[in-house]
Structure 1
Amino acid sequence: MGEMIDLHDLVTKMPIAKWSIILVFSLVGAIMQRDMTWTGRMITFSIGVAAAVVFAEPVRLLLSLDAGWSDALSAVLAMTGRNWAAYFVRATGNPTKAAREIIEIWRSRR
């Protein structure tokens, strides 16, 4: 199995172009979501960015893709993460309350 990737190194060494792609795709997806409140849009934007930053390199290595695929994969993961978050927000009805409950459940299991 591969070695662990340090998230801090991954984020600080990421080129500006890649950050731009991630932010634009997450932002466009969040803005296009007209049936959500601004809180829901911010949640989906944040999760889209997080999904692209955290999972882009591991997925690229898992699929044995060349480094040239990194930007495209980040864009796809930004939209996918945002879509998962949008589904979650719609399914819960109140994303702030649902996030609070999930955090409480997560903290109680430690």
Structure 2
Amino acid sequence: MSATTTDQTAAAAEAPEASQPAPARKARRWPWIVAIVVVAALGATGTGIAVASANDAQSELAALQADYADLETRSGIAQSSLDMMRDQRDRLELQLEELQAELDAATAG
């Protein structure tokens, strides 16, 4: 009977433990929060770098466009000057031909 009593006592001792729920496991949320914050920070940093790079590229493009416009203006001025020089040369050639014709007429006559 001693064995039966021991079994009952052991069963009685185990019964309260079995009926009590296991202690709730605390969810560790902080690693998830840290991971989300890190990903957001990296995304913001990447976006900032991309914006800065785009701004640099845009300012470089604006500088190149200004240089191109300046060169285009200078080219236009040079072309106009060249056209005026050609017109002046043509007028001088005509005057020279007229003077030679007058000289030939004066010496022949």
TM-score by length of 1: 0.24
| Structure index of larger Rg | 2
TM-score by length of 2: 0.24
